[in-house]
Amino acid sequence: MKPRKPQFAQARRGKPAHTKPSRPQAETTQLVQIVKPIYGGAFLARMEGKAVFVPLTLPGEQVRVRIRESNRGYDTADPDEIVIAAPERIVPACPHFGACGGCHYQHAGYETQLAFKQSVLRETLERGGVQAPEEIAVVAGEPWRYRNRIRLAFDSAGNPGYRGRQSHNIIPIRECPIAAPLLLEAASASAEIMRTLNWEMRPAEISFFCDGDESALLASAYTPNPEEGLFVKWARALEERIPSLKGAELIAQAPFGKEMRTTGEWGWGSPGLTYLASGFDYRVDRGAFFQVNRWLVDSLVDCVTDDHKGSLAWDLFAGVGLFARKLADSFERVVAVESASASKAALEHNLHGSTGEAVIAETLPFLRRRRPMDKPDLVVVDPPRTGLGPEITSLLGEVGAPALVYVSCDPATLARDLRALIGLGYSIQSVTLVDLFPQTFHLETVVQLRRG
C-alpha cells in the first residue's frame, strides 16, 4: 500500500523572518528533493543551487516546502506536503512529535537513525580535515524510555511542557516516550500540586532526575519569584504522591544580560541520590552532570576505560567521577579534575577509598600549572559542546600522554580538536558512536588516540 502523504498544516502559519525579493515568498510552495541528513536535525535539499534545510523529512523524498528564513548561504524551510514519501518513513510514536522541539527523527526507524548519525559524524569529521576510519563502531540500546533527566516549563494554565520546535512557546505534553515514566509521573503530579496550592508564582521551569531503575528521584524548580514556604509544601506534597522523591531544590534566578543568574537557593531533603552504574554506587547531587541515557551508562564507561591501565591517569572534566572511579581499578593513581561546584562533594565521595583523588579546578589552569614530573599514561577528556579549544589541545600535546580518549557531544568541535591533536603527534585508533540520544540528532562520540 502506498504510504500516506503526511500534511504539515502548522507550516502554513509561519512567515519568513526576512526573504530576499528574488526568493519564493512564504505563500508559495516549492517542490524540492531531499538529499541527506545534516547535523542539527534537518535535511538538505537544493533550490536553484542554494542549500535549503528542511526538518521532518527524509532522504529521497519529494517535498513541497515554504521558505521560512533566507540567509546568504542557505535557506530554512518548513515542509508543507510530502509528495513522494521515502520507504523508511514510519508513524512517530509520540503524538507531540513535530510541534515539540525535543525529537527530530521519530519519523524514521531506529536503524535508519543510526545510519543518519554515522553519515553525519563521518562527513563532519572529514569536512573538519580529519580522516575518519573505515569503520565507525556503533553502541546502541533500547531507543525508548532512556532519559533519566528532563526539564519542563509551564504554560499559562500551569500545564507542564517542552519548548516548541521553532519557538520558545510551551507545548503541553501528555506523554514523552523517550523519558523514564517516573519523570512524567512526577511532572504531572507537580503541576496538580501547584494548582492545589494556588501557587501563582509557580516555577518558570522544573527538572527531574532519576536513577537507572527509577527508585530515586531529585527535583529542581527554577523561579524569578521564590517563596520558600510554598516550595517546602510543594516538596512534601510531591513526596506523598511520588515516594521515590529523595530531595528537591528551589533556585531563584534573575536576568543577567542574555542569561539567567542564580540569586538564591533553598534545599529540601537529601542533596543527592545513589546511582548504580558500571558496578559502583555513584553519588549524584542535585544539579550535577550525569550521562542522560540510563540504558547505556555502563557501555559508555566500558568504551572509554577498557584496555587501559598504568601508573597515572587524568580524567579531565570529570563530573562526579563516572570514568575516574572505574579507572581507579586499573591505575595506581587517578587524578579527576572538575570545576562545577555541584559536582564537588559527589566527586570526592565517589573517589573516597580508591586510588583516585579529586582536584577542584578548571581544566585549563590545571594544565598550566602541572608539574614536569606528572606524566600520565592516559588522559580522558569529556568537555562541554565547546570542546577543548586551542590552548588546552596545545598543553595536552606538551603533556604527551601515550594514550588519550576524547568523549565528545559535538562532532564539529570534535573535528577541530582532533585535527589539532593529530598535528601534535596523535593518531586515531578507533571512533565509536555511542547513541545516548535516540530519536534526536544529538550523538556522543568516543575517540581512542595514541601518540608515537
Residues classed as catalytic: 409
C-alpha cell at 331: 591505575
Contacts of 176 (CB under 8 A, 6+ apart): 94, 96, 102, 147, 150, 162, 183, 184
Distances (CA, A) of 368 to 33, 362, 372, 392, 425: 51, 10, 11, 9, 20
| C-alpha–C-alpha distance, residues 65 and 33, integer Å | 10
Residue 7: how many CA atoms within 13 Å on its side-chain side? 2
| C-alpha–C-alpha distance, residues 186 and 193, integer Å | 10
**Helix 110-127 × helix 411-423 angle, to 10°:** 40
C-alpha cell at 449: 588516540
β-strand partners of 161: 153, 172
Distances (CA, A) of 34 to 4, 56, 64, 120: 18, 11, 10, 15
Q: Count other Cβ atoms within 10 Å, centred on residue 240.
A: 10
C-alpha cell at 53: 534545510
Label residue 116 exposed, middle or buried (CB < 10 Å: 0-12, 13-18, 19+).
Answer: buried
| C-alpha–C-alpha distance, residues 100 and 166, integer Å | 9
Distances (CA, A) of 150 to 49, 146, 180, 208: 40, 11, 9, 6
| C-alpha–C-alpha distance, residues 198 and 158, integer Å | 10
Strands (E), 59-159: 62-70, 74-84, 137-139, 149-154
| C-alpha–C-alpha distance, residues 97 and 111, integer Å | 19
| C-alpha–C-alpha distance, residues 66 and 23, integer Å | 11
Backbone angles phi, psi at 283, to 5 degrees: -85, 130
Backbone angles phi, psi at 83, to 5 degrees: -80, -50
Whether 286 contacts 218, CB under 8 Å: yes
